[in-house]
Amino acid sequence: MAGIDYLERIPNNVDLASNRRLQRALEEWQPRFLEWWRDMGPEGFQARDVYLRTAISVDAKGWAQFGYVKMPEYRWGIFLAEPETGRTIPFGDHKGRPVWQEVPGEYRGTLRRLIVTQGDTEPASVEQQRHLGRTCPSLYDLRNIFQVNVEEGRHLWAMVYLLQAYFGRDGREEAEGLLQRRSGDRDKPRILSAFNERTPHWLSYLMFTFFTDRDGKYQLACLAESGFDPLSRTCRFMLTEEAHHLFIGETGVSRVVQCTCELMREHKTDDVRKYGAIDLATMQRYLNFHYSVSLDLFGSEVSTNAANFYTMSLKGRFEETKKDDDHQLKNATYRVAMLQGERIVEKDEPALPSLNERVRDDYIADCQRGVDRWNRIIREHGIDVELRLPHRAFHRAIGAFSEVRVSPDGRVLSQAEWDAGKSRWLPTDEDEAFIESLMKPVIEPGKFASWIAPPARGINGRPVDFDYVRPA
């Protein structure tokens, strides 16, 4: 079962061949996916050989194979983690019962909505990143962005499989909709806010893979707990791929920090812009932006949707099965930061509607660990500056704090104070112009742009100067 049949038109480990109706539906969707990929996937480079990993099994060890592939020929397919025998629903009203192999009728609409929302982010991110190949800082980074892009494409396949296999006609319509919405489009935008923002350059992209792909990790982990077993198994395998996206974000920003610190020390100045590098203050502004829009992706602090997803046993908490409580939370409370007049206070709220905040807390702690590692690099260069996560209420557009203006250190501000501080806290037009000016392609193997240090090692044991993307 773990083996994947690559002779199939759609590689899969779900025995697609035995379900002709589903196979036909997916084979009809496939050319439309490829059309979307040609129109909205990476611009240029489609005919290039790229050193990519492809999933070949779902075993934790040795699940991937590396080799040169032209992106449109990537073997997108349907891979679910192995079923866990005897798995029971870990939380909610149905806790303890056997997991569902079919959609529970009364939750059909809610479940479909969750799957569509998850699925929508995947092609959205590919659209957001589609122009970046032209300004890559190295072949190593170019290969990495394409790896992320093809895998986000596969994540779309994962959700489309669930829609087509389990939701009949409305599932097929949703599968079409996923190819029709467009990131940032005024008339048919992507569903969630962060996926309609621009990712205009590589600093933005690296921050995105650190902060926004990390929302992916947390949301997928919550869906991996689902009582609907096919969703759980799909998400478990997606998480395996996700780890590399987070690695790219964390090490990518580390390398920018490294490069900046080396120049700061060498030239004894904070102003490294004249050496073609990105000063730490500018990096902090991009961090503030991408972190705050990613916090919005967790939804409102107090949410009946979140409570329903949980009581319906559709979406759990991060590491649900490792938690030591009743997994129903009817009488439990959770500490939530809230707005009280002009002040931000913490209050105990009923746990169920606070579940978004709870995952957000897990996410924030994870982000902090990454920022600590960046700060270690700064300290090791003897530089007395720290990158900081802004307060959770800073620059929010969803939830209670969307009604107020809050400084990075958590003070509620007047509009005038916000206007006065904004250019110190968020990227300015001038920052954008400067970063854009650095975005010159570097495509000689082993060479790197002026603003980013080389990685410690290459991909899959290959050297850093390997030809990860071959010339046309």
CA atoms of 71 and 87, how far apart (whole Å): 37
How many chain residues touch Fe ion (CB under 5 A)? 6
Contact between 155 and Fe ion (CB under 5 A)?
A: yes
Q: Two tokens at 272?
A: 């490294």
Contact between 213 and Fe ion (CB under 5 A)?
A: yes
Q: Which amino acid makes up residue 420?
A: A
Distance in Å, CB of 119 to ligand BYC, minimum: 9
CA proximity to 469, closest of 71, 90, 142: 142
Contact between 315 and Fe ion (CB under 5 A)?
A: no
Residue 128 or 284 having the CB closest to ligand BYC: 128
Distance in Å, CB of 147 to ligand BYC, minimum: 13
Binding segment (CB under 5 A) for Fe ion, from list 16-24, 245-253, 389-397, 409-417: 245-253
Residue 181 or 245 having the CB closest to Fe ion: 245
Rule CB under 5 A: which of 214-233 touch Fe ion? 216
Q: Are 352 and 330 in contact (CB under 8 A)?
A: yes
Coil, strand or helix at 403: helix
| CB closest to ligand BYC, residue no | 299
**CA distances (Å), 276 to each of 31, 257, 264, 454, in order?**
43, 13, 12, 15
Continuous H helices in 312-405: 355-380
Q: Are 401 and 356 in contact (CB under 8 A)?
A: no
CA atoms of 460 and 468, how far apart (whole Å): 11
CA atoms of 71 and 47, how far apart (whole Å): 7
Residue 152 or 320 having the CB closest to Fe ion: 152
Question: Where would I find the beta strands (DSSP E) of 228-377?
Answer: 333-340, 343-350
Which positions lie near ligand BYC, rule CB under 6 A? Answer: 114, 117-118, 121-122, 125, 152, 192-193, 212-213, 215-216, 219, 296-300, 303, 305-306, 315, 356, 398
Distance in Å, CB of 445 to ligand BYC, minimum: 28
Distance in Å, CB of 199 to Fe ion, minimum: 13
Distance in Å, CB of 24 to ligand BYC, minimum: 28
DSSP 8-state code for residue 301? S
Residue 125 or 282 having the CB closest to ligand BYC: 125
Residues that bind Fe ion (CB under 5 A): 122, 152, 155, 213, 216, 245
